[in-house]
Structure 1
């Protein structure tokens, strides 16, 4: 590699005048910008290297002077001149987004271009009425004088969406790619003492047409700004490649050096690299330790640079992962082993928007590693360079994506029948140079990272020859496979992508496709759209990935909610989404599709992710466990296996046992715990835990787990039967009394009016605050809204709120008794079309237990039921929730694989999962019993022999549905209990049309649900 090949002139000198009219020219994306290079750092000495602090770097992060203009016509001329007085300007932190510092508005849009409908512009043109411009000024002094032959440049690691730069009034250059560095040489414009660096940042340029990603629209200097010194003898660019064969591996290093540099390269712990005649340095490894997600081993190349006099000029440390990733035998393989992407898409987004620190990024990767994620797609742009360093170190397979998405234009073709020549970039030659430039910036910076296993040509930009040419360029410079999903929509150039890539294709359709298409590996670059209460039936995808060799997994959409911390008019904090900043157009809460919240607290879906992505599949019975390994290289011998026997939350036995299952193999092992012969229900849990702490988790962290439920048959000891309760018939009420309780049914209003328990002189504790009613409704989830469920299901909302007793309640109430109980029943007419009816019967035993039976047979023409159960309210003081069933996190019938059966405790006041938009949440499946009590233990216990779904929340479904944000929910006045036969599964194939899978919907035909209510006595 030569300096000429990089296009670098040793005395690169900027000049000329910045012409803002060119911002609307697709061919204007760089001026006097230094060529892209590898992201290695250089140090003055090995001591500096060891400390991690380079004397060649000077940070310009911090407070800059700032002026905001709503468009180009409002900028202040001459601000870049050294004598211009900026003392009255605002201070703004760098890095930051101006929209989060009190200027402009943060705008969330998914597909819509942010100017759509506001200004009539076509691709390439830019809005003129409103197009914010930020003018930045920073004064600085060099930390030491410029040495002979030294060059000094400033690097902007990320500016959205373009930057023009001046130093001491001299124009230096322009760069327009938001997500890769723009670097400019300063040397010849520097002065002794104070220097004045001025930057103008434009929100929208022609390049913004290529940046229509599903994200918040920001602008500003949002990544680091660093001065970089280049000594006279310097390695400008470094490329490391590894070749792996049956005999070992070879590491080859090429570089571009200047100033008569003499370069020596050592592979630490191995030896010096030998130089070929062409300048390539090589070394052979006979038994290399291979890099993989399970063992991300990195060798270290130490590059020492000397000048012509033999003095040390700089020292470079370059990590090297020895691995081979390629399509072999028609499949994606790592080091010869077929891989499955257990992946997520990750926007670079946190509580400061796209301003992310290394520490925040590392915390993200630790979290993902802890739940079994092995792959990340950088949706939909290059991340900070430190992301790739950390991905190398932690072991993630990365699809590195070009900064390209033109979804808003693509929609014109899909939905408005626009001609193919409308596609952007499509076949338009004027857009090819900018995309090749972005591809080069991505590749040159990230080429040395072993974590990067595929190059992606962008996202949701249809197809065409320009993207095909970008793919060909990647192949011309590298051997890694190329990815692009848009070929699925525009198949004219199938050679664009080396893999078949789709989004949100149901698992059954993938399997059907692969029956006849066996030419390429198949991946889902996006799947399991985790918007709101979602992520249902994802196990179908994971099961298929381990059964069908050509389906090699996918990437969950996505990692974290994009949301902004806000405060309402009452001073209450909440997370805002599209429209909350007063912006339009916007796409509301469609940004809330993470498996974690914006603050990285886990969503319930994360429990499911951990179960689906765990590297061991466990099948447990009462005596043994079958362990199926999905590891690539790791044996289970390095993990501690622990079996635990419990009965309704009480641990009876726990013991460790040894296993040694090789990667990709299976083995069966006897359990070291014995299920007793006494009648009852027992749980047997097996967990595989880390024996020692790792960088990403502490010792004891559960890597994989499984559970079985064992029921030992037999008759329980007979309970003493209480005498039949007394029935008291009144004109408008029916009373049923026992020794310690009193139940009152209203035959006037038709229902259970009172349940008093723990009778004392004052009449006992009233446990109900309203009359229980049959319930068929829950607050619609994001996915249900996506396919129009509220429109279809609306009559079940009416049925839940406005059911009435059939006929005249005084005449139609059913009353019967037997030797042990009294039963009172009511029939409710439901306002559905066609009409339906529901029966509710209360069987009251002498001990105070009320067995409730809800039954209904709805006409087959009625829409699916959202749920089938009862709604009852109790005093808000009953907020201590305890249950035996699935947990610990919220579950659903199609999202319960990550749960385990046990006894759990929560506080009702925090049971509503804080999704960006309130919706059905807090439900538990497989509940045998649940209790809600106050601080003294008084309350209510519900039970179901067959298991039920159960939730206890501070609000009714109707109150939840009415709130646009959690802070809008009313003050807590009650505890709302909803025992149910079943709720509709949450679904998750996508959030704009995919319904719950049929097996996770309530069945048609007669429905019957039984559960019990019993008062719980506490202390006085």
Structure 2
């Protein structure tokens, strides 16, 4: 029944969520000719309404121009807005970032389904258009691909319809309302509605028409809905194509038929058939014979060409639908794809652009796909809503496994500051919410059902559980038995365990996962969210990926998340920066909790990706002195498309390298013998490196792209200390101790309690003297488990210490000055730093820590000093090339690399500890002319950090632009630094083996030598 009069009451009525909206259908394209369909270009029967629209913004419904839709109402003086786009990013209102709480929490006392009458921004849009050529005599529809969160539509003053659900299409029939010449389309968008109660995702709160809008028409005989499945038999070789077509005919009862042709990727006909429609429906099965299967490793796609024929056999419509033959099923409680146990090496992904929010482009999507493929990511969960249709097409083509998640999250209705309190939980088992939630499930499945990349339907996110969500799961199973169903929320109420086909948890610790897997589980396990990658994070990820080979029922996980949700903003001085919650005066807010990506918001790669790429490798390489063991863990793909490269190096210098083809079948391994020359090395280290790289260009990477690597470090005796031949002169004054030689001078200050000056060839290397350091600038994870509260004594100790002793010891050709430090906040702790200077000006620094009971764990044990910022070039022989930490070092390799000091800190949203390298053997710090110092580890490698900023400066800055102008280069050499953690960012500590116990004694040493 058509409704002609709109009502604002619909906004707060869960029973009204669509008025005059057309039924959901598949997202296939259609054309007038077969050739057009095969080209699969722009549709002539679709006309875009994207671009500039007239616009008016109102703070609430009572202040809106209520009659703006009438043909007499002039919008000439209105502003203009771009569609697609968010209202709040184009000059009206403010974006607001909140995580679990509803955006009105603390401002208005609301409970569902009620919404605010005072703060419900309204966007009034107007677009005039004339029907394009070819649309005049056929029905005309309009499609809104995404509008947040509820909207009304008028055409030429007549009410057309109403819809909610921000993330699936809403379509309406415009035919009865069209006029000759110019037509006035009016759309009224409300930010708050019952739909808003169901869209409490962890994201920025926007509103507006943020996905494309277009008109479309259809031919006389039109396939309104198409369901295509490429099925495999039990041998996983023989394919059957099943196609269900639903005809939308403008000529009732008109005979029609369809010819179906299945073409392979080269255009060869594999199978074909013709069948007549019966009562507007057609079902046809085609035997495709032995087929090439679809997987993320080999995303082979066939093309189904559908020709719709009228009674005379004339073509009225042509469709090309991509088809992937695959079989996804549960076998013996384990998920299998094409007969093989599958592992999800995945990420969660929000649609996001640093300037346009969720109004993302094709270029954004392609960039995301390429980044994922290049970094061994094979799966994506559409957190927490259906994405644009194009995303699924790209996943089909490039090869990614998809969990397609319906637009549902009611987090704030049942969890308050981490406590589960579902007294007013929605949808729960409330019957009045069943239809609106089920509509979201239906809209997603009907649009997306033809994409082979989608393996699992997800019933939304963090909405607790109940009868309503169970109904969605049962609908998915009945409508589409070829996929499985996911829902994490059953963890909170096991009465509804049937909602999910797999055990899915968020941020469970590895030990908890093992406990489940060791308890005779009935379902396989996936971590639908794990490794909360907020700021400097992703430490300990290996503990999760190691479960993959230990437990067959552990089938991988999805990192939270792919991309930072930060927006470009300007500070008061006109400088652009990456902004987070609160920066737009948005309250309430969850501040920087939007920065959880392994990719920065501008789509540059974070250092965290180094670890992800390595731990997600399907090809494992184990080099040794006699060759390389190649383990191919791909399920379907050999390594014939890859080339093996290998090299032998000593102290960073390559001694031998080579390459060769290597073809290891899927799920097998081989040993590739290589005649590495035996180096005649008495001391130091040599390194065996192996990598596999692409032989040829692919659609996601160029030839030479490294797919996987492995490294073996071989110790050949202790690295010798620098040898000195010169003599020294020692001057012990009342305040200073001077040690001098040919072209160099070191001054140790009893008053300062440290090395106060180190001059090489007249150049001063010490601007601020070295001091013990126990504090690192807290990371987001540190803050999450209250590191500042529990460990603040180390912060205080790093700011103030007392030098309780200075001793001078003279040798034949050396002098040693030792400083002893004690700390008022650390009873029982003592630190000594001994500087031994030889005749060449080499300074051997030995730092010792005497521990004490009853103190919190240390963030770091280090020595830190400043030089002038003129020394701004570094060259490393260390684990790298990107930053790494004790619990995030698997993806690093021992290598040489160069970086400017300004490039070493990472651009996390909130300044924090970053830029560290473990396994430091050698660090050269120089100016532009090559003058400077050479820092070398002695008995054991150290950790190192070179930065324009001190830990304290980073600690006290909330944004990068708050950091001071650069005057210094800060050098920090550590015996140990704790890991960064990553199980979650709100209480999970670093794993015990990566912490530093305060009662443990520690020592480390390194040398400082001149570079002239």
The one of 944, 949, 965 aligned to 1:950: 944
Query: Alignment partner of 1:488: what SS?
Result: helix
Shift of 1:639: 1.0
1:270 equivalent in alignment to 2:270: yes
Q: 1:83 and 1:47, CA in 2 relative to 1: closer, same or farther beyond 3 A?
A: farther
1:773 aligned residue: 771
Shift of 1:476: 1.3
Shift of 1:272: 1.2
The one of 844, 847, 850 aligned to 1:851: 844
1:172 equivalent in alignment to 2:176: no
2:990 aligned residue: 996
After superposition, residues 146-165 of structure 1 pair within 5 angstroms as: 146-148=135-137, 150-165=138-153
2:80 aligned residue: 91
1:76 aligned residue: 65
Deviation by residue 1:132-154 (Cα, 9 ceiling, x = unmatched): 00000000011115454x21100
2:456 aligned residue: 454
After superposition, residues 255-334 of structure 1 pair within 5 angstroms as: 255-259=245-249, 260=254, 261-268=256-263, 269-275=269-275, 279-334=282-337
The one of 333, 336, 339 aligned to 1:336: 339
2:175 aligned residue: 187
The one of 1003, 1010, 1015 aligned to 2:1004: 1010
The one of 377, 380, 393 aligned to 2:381: 377
2:429 aligned residue: 427
Number of residue pairs the alignment of both structures matches: 992
Shift of 1:855: 1.1
Aligned counterparts of 1:966 and 1:995: Cα–Cα separation in 2: 26
1:10 aligned residue: none
Shift of 1:1010: 3.2
Deviation by residue 1:340-386 (Cα, 9 ceiling, x = unmatched): 00000000111210011122101100110111111100000000000
Q: Is the 8 A contact 1:151 1:232 kept in 2?
A: no
1:883 aligned residue: 876
Deviation by residue 1:979-1016 (Cα, 9 ceiling, x = unmatched): 00011100001111111111111244443333334343
Q: 1:567 and 1:675, CA in 2 relative to 1: closer, same or farther beyond 3 A?
A: farther
Runs of 5+ consecutive residues of structure 1 not aligned to the other structure: 1-12, 759-763, 807-811
Deviation by residue 1:259-308 (Cα, 9 ceiling, x = unmatched): 23432111122131354997311111221100011110111001111233
Shift of 1:15: 4.5
2:266 aligned residue: none
1:213 equivalent in alignment to 2:201: yes
1:692 equivalent in alignment to 2:682: no
Deviation by residue 1:708-741 (Cα, 9 ceiling, x = unmatched): 112334897x975324421101111111111121
Deviation by residue 1:520-562 (Cα, 9 ceiling, x = unmatched): 1100000001000000010111111122100000000000000
Aligned counterparts of 1:81 and 1:615: Cα–Cα separation in 2: 61
1:905 equivalent in alignment to 2:878: no
Aligned counterparts of 1:393 and 1:439: Cα–Cα separation in 2: 25
Shift of 1:937: 1.2
Shift of 1:417: 4.4
Q: 1:720 and 1:888, CA in 2 relative to 1: closer, same or farther beyond 3 A?
A: closer
1:794 aligned residue: 792
Aligned counterparts of 1:672 and 1:441: Cα–Cα separation in 2: 61
After superposition, residues 759-770 of structure 1 pair within 5 angstroms as: 764-770=762-768
After superposition, residues 560-575 of structure 1 pair within 5 angstroms as: 560-575=563-578
Q: Is the 8 A contact 2:729 2:740 kept in 1?
A: yes
Q: Is the 8 A contact 1:655 1:673 kept in 2?
A: no
Q: Is the 8 A contact 1:622 1:710 kept in 2?
A: no
1:5 aligned residue: none
The one of 543, 554, 557 aligned to 1:554: 557
Q: Is the 8 A contact 1:272 1:283 kept in 2?
A: yes
Runs of 5+ consecutive residues of structure 2 not aligned to the other structure: 264-268
Aligned counterparts of 2:864 and 2:925: Cα–Cα separation in 1: 14
Deviation by residue 1:684-719 (Cα, 9 ceiling, x = unmatched): 110101111100111111111111112334897x97
2:913 aligned residue: 920
Q: Is the 8 A contact 1:534 1:988 kept in 2?
A: yes
Aligned counterparts of 1:272 and 1:552: Cα–Cα separation in 2: 38
After superposition, residues 970-985 of structure 1 pair within 5 angstroms as: 970-985=964-979
The one of 830, 837, 858 aligned to 2:823: 830
1:407 equivalent in alignment to 2:411: yes
1:602 equivalent in alignment to 2:596: no
Aligned counterparts of 2:1010 and 2:766: Cα–Cα separation in 1: 13
Deviation by residue 1:450-469 (Cα, 9 ceiling, x = unmatched): 00100000101111111111
Shift of 1:748: 2.1
The one of 90, 94, 112 aligned to 1:101: 90
Aligned counterparts of 2:312 and 2:46: Cα–Cα separation in 1: 24
Shift of 1:673: 3.0
Shift of 1:657: 2.6
Aligned counterparts of 1:918 and 1:549: Cα–Cα separation in 2: 40
Shift of 1:818: 1.6
Query: Alignment partner of 2:788: what SS?
Result: helix
Deviation by residue 1:777-815 (Cα, 9 ceiling, x = unmatched): 110000000000011111111111111112xxxxx3111
Aligned counterparts of 1:155 and 1:454: Cα–Cα separation in 2: 26
Q: Is the 8 A contact 1:853 1:1008 kept in 2?
A: no
Q: Is the 8 A contact 1:623 1:674 kept in 2?
A: no
Aligned counterparts of 1:455 and 1:1012: Cα–Cα separation in 2: 56
1:362 aligned residue: 366
1:127 aligned residue: 116
Q: 1:658 and 1:89, CA in 2 relative to 1: closer, same or farther beyond 3 A?
A: same
Q: Is the 8 A contact 2:856 2:998 kept in 1?
A: no
Q: Is the 8 A contact 2:535 2:596 kept in 1?
A: yes
1:45 equivalent in alignment to 2:30: no
Query: Alignment partner of 1:294: what SS?
Result: coil
1:204 aligned residue: 192
With 541-550 and 274-283 compared, the bigger mean Cα shift is at 274-283
Shift of 1:819: 1.9
RMSD over aligned Cα atoms: 1.6
The one of 238, 243, 248 aligned to 2:238: 248
TM-score, normalised relative to structure 1: 0.95
Query: Alignment partner of 1:443: what SS?
Result: helix
Q: Is the 8 A contact 1:44 1:54 kept in 2?
A: no
Q: Is the 8 A contact 1:869 1:1009 kept in 2?
A: no
Aligned counterparts of 1:875 and 1:412: Cα–Cα separation in 2: 49
The one of 50, 54, 57 aligned to 1:65: 54
Aligned counterparts of 2:40 and 2:326: Cα–Cα separation in 1: 29
Q: 1:845 and 1:883, CA in 2 relative to 1: closer, same or farther beyond 3 A?
A: same
Aligned counterparts of 1:715 and 1:601: Cα–Cα separation in 2: 38
